[in-house]
Chain A
Amino acid sequence: MTLASPIQALSITLANCAKTWPDGTRALEPLDLGVRAGETLALLGPSGCGKTTLLRMICGLEETDAGGSIRFGNDDVTRVAPEARGVGVVFQGYALFPNMNVAQNVGYGLKIRGVDVETRRKRVMEMLELVELEALAERRVDRLSGGQRQRVALARAIAIEPRVLLLDEPLTALDARLRQQLRVDLAALLRKLGITCVIVTHDQEEAMMLGDRVAVMSAGRLEQIGQPETLYREPASPFVADFIGTLCRLQGSVVSAHHGVESLSFRPYEIRLGPPGNGLEANIVARFYLGSHIRFELVLDDGQPFTALAEPDAPWQPGERVAINLTQSRTAKEPAPC
């Protein structure tokens, strides 16, 4: 292994990969997934949707059911053990070795590879500089803050010049404010490295910020894969629409009388409120002033609730009746193109 060589990005190709647990439960339905070389793909979904299982299959800690195949570039790694796969993994909770200090943690993969002490020391310092932790090389890992641990775990994973980088909920263990900052840092670092990367997260915003593309998963299935914008504007299923941002759905005779369709679905900001007497009407239940906009909770006459976002100068108050017009709407009859 030559340490000076730049990371060469490889694509990841999963074909017909399924996972069934020994007790017969299906964790993953057979799926095909391609991650382009140098791309960051975010696997997004609620807990239990199979995203972590999918990640563990890519690094080899779980085997795919018979018939599945995983390739890194042109190299079939389906039956290659995790030790030999050359993947860098950042585990949820980071899994730093408690009996080693920061530098020993980062250098462990190199030590295993028999890299000599001097080269190893250089490489470790290089990695620590990259994550801005060079001052903490000798520190014990239990004396690190959450954010520092996350960066040590990342440095340890990329020190071995992995063929692909896998991150399992890399920011979940951190508090909200720190998470915001590290998201930006991590996005910048991944871009700088140019390595093919898969990130598992249950946080929609995190997925959209870090992923060049986002794959939404639900109940062991891949629901949709695409750029964040595409997923948001043209969700392929109600699940995706609901998981990526808020989606309101209205249906029934009140809706069909005015719009001639069975149901309407729209984002809260895709609605305009106006004086009553003009189209579909609703009653304002609550009004929340949020600075950049006002959030209204409304109900139709038949009791269906929904949410609308309006400009911060919107005059409407709770108890008032307003007309609602859709600026840009999708209906159930005309599903959005994928």
Chain B
Amino acid sequence: MGRRAWLIIAIPAITLFVAFWLLPMAKLAGLGAATPQGMDVSAYWLVLTQPRYWQSLANTVGLSLAATLATLAIALPVSRFLARHPAFPGRRVLMSLLIFPLAFPGVVVGFLVILATGRQGVLNTLAKALSGEPMVLAYGMAGLFIGYLYFLLPRTIGVLMAAVEGIDRHWLEAAQTLGASPWRRFVDIELPALTSALTAAGAMCFATAMGAFGTVFTLGTKIDVLPITIYDEFTNYANIPVAAALSVVLGLATWAALYIANTLANRSASAR
């Protein structure tokens, strides 16, 4: 294809990219540099220096990281089981149930968490009946954590199942005849084969968790996460510079975490 023909394809693509990505992003970044009303420093400076925002960022990263790791830890054995047992009674039903919450908006997930672990929830009723002590998780960190698992697990199980199915059964059998125990086979053969899928699924979980809004909003916890803080600054205080600065920080923090995860995964893959 000639240089000119490439231009015909490239121009619309570049136009779209500039119009819908570069310009709004530049505007957002520019807004963050503005000075909020009644302040004498830029919004970026405020966001980086005020403990309230710091706390929110720490909450978001910590919660997202924990939810991602927990999701991977739960999804891996479940995916392995489902991929290795293609026919057992009730498998289709189980699969449907696992995938079902996929389409729920965060609000519904939040509501489900309240139904399960709220003041009138199943868990509280059971706990009161059994021990007399109330047990309410929905409105604290535990509730948020459960809510995040709710929407991360269905996404992850599908991805990991496909990856497990891609492992050649003969690799594991070869390792077995060479003397490898189930644990060694898992560590030496399966995990390396799943590294890229685990990294990809983990990155998706983390990015989704970092931006989660509906669930947290519904649970109405005292704990602030960045999306909620941004929402507050934007709607309640009309503090657009701080909202913009926080958005940029959220984006950068997510990008940095994914970058580190990717680098580590690549390093461990090439070290073997």
Contact = CB atoms under 8 A, between A and B. Distances in A.
A87 B177 contact: yes
Contacts of B269: 99
B4 interface: no
B232 interface: no
Contact of A99 (B173, B176, B178, B192): B192
B177 A61 contact: yes
A61 B173 contact: yes
A109 B178 contact: yes
B178 A100 contact: no
A84 interface: yes
Nearest to A104: B272
Interface string B176-205: 111111001000110011000000000000
B174 interface: yes
Interface in A112-144: 112-113
Interface stretch (A90-98, A203-211, A284-292): A90-98
Interface string B240-270: 0000000000000000000000000000010
A108 B188 CA distance: 10
Interface in A299-320: none
A82 interface: yes
B188 A91 contact: no
Given A108-B188, A112-B184, A97 B174 contact: yes
B3 interface: no
B179 A109 contact: yes
Given A91-B170, A95-B173, A156 B192 contact: no
A214 interface: no
B171 interface: yes
A150 to B, nearest CB: 14
Contacts of A97: 171, 174-175, 188-189
A85 interface: yes
Interface residues of B, number: 19
Contacts of B181: 83
Contacts of A99: 189, 192-193, 269, 272
B177 A88 contact: yes
A96 B269 CA distance: 17
A20 to B, nearest CB: 18
Contact of B168 (A84, A95, A112): A95
Contacts of A222: none
Contacts of A156: 174, 178
A91 B174 contact: yes
A112 B176 contact: no
A84 B178 CA distance: 9
Contact of B179 (A84, A98, A100): A84
A97 B189 CA distance: 7
B169 to A, nearest CB: 9
A61 B175 contact: no
Contacts of A113: 179
Contact of A98 (B176, B178, B180, B193): B193
Contacts of B188: 97, 108
Interface string B141-177: 0000000000000000000000000001011011111
Nearest to A107: B178
Contacts of B193: 98-99
B171 A61 contact: no
Given A100-B272, A108-B188, A112-B184, A95 B179 contact: no
A61 B170 CA distance: 11
A305 B187 CA distance: 61
B192 to A, nearest CB: 4
A44 interface: no
Nearest to B185: A83
A59 interface: yes
Interface string B34-64: 0000000000000000000000000000000
Interface string A69-89: 000000000000011110111
Contacts of A95: 168, 170-171, 173-174
Contacts of B171: 95, 97-98
Nearest to B169: A95
A89 B175 contact: no
A160 B170 contact: no
Nearest to B177: A89
A93 B272 CA distance: 23
A91 B177 CA distance: 11
Contact of B178 (A61, A93, A108): A108
A338 B268 CA distance: 61
Nearest to A86: B179
Contacts of A88: 177
Interface of B: 168, 170-171, 173-181, 184, 188-189, 192-193, 269, 272
30 contacts: A82-B173, A82-B177, A83-B177, A83-B179, A84-B179, A85-B177, A87-B177, A88-B177, A89-B173, A91-B170, A91-B173, A91-B174, A93-B168, A95-B168, A95-B171, A96-B174, A97-B175, A98-B193, A99-B189, A99-B192, A99-B269, A108-B175, A108-B178, A108-B180, A109-B178, A109-B179, A112-B180, A112-B184, A156-B174, A160-B179
Given A82-B177, A108-B175, A109-B179, 19 more contacts: A61-B173, A61-B176, A61-B177, A82-B176, A83-B177, A83-B179, A83-B180, A87-B177, A89-B177, A91-B170, A91-B173, A91-B174, A93-B168, A95-B171, A97-B171, A97-B189, A99-B189, A157-B177, A160-B178
The 6 A-B residue pairs with the shortest CB-CB distance in the complex, in nearest-first order: A95-B170, A109-B178, A99-B192, A95-B174, A112-B179, A89-B177
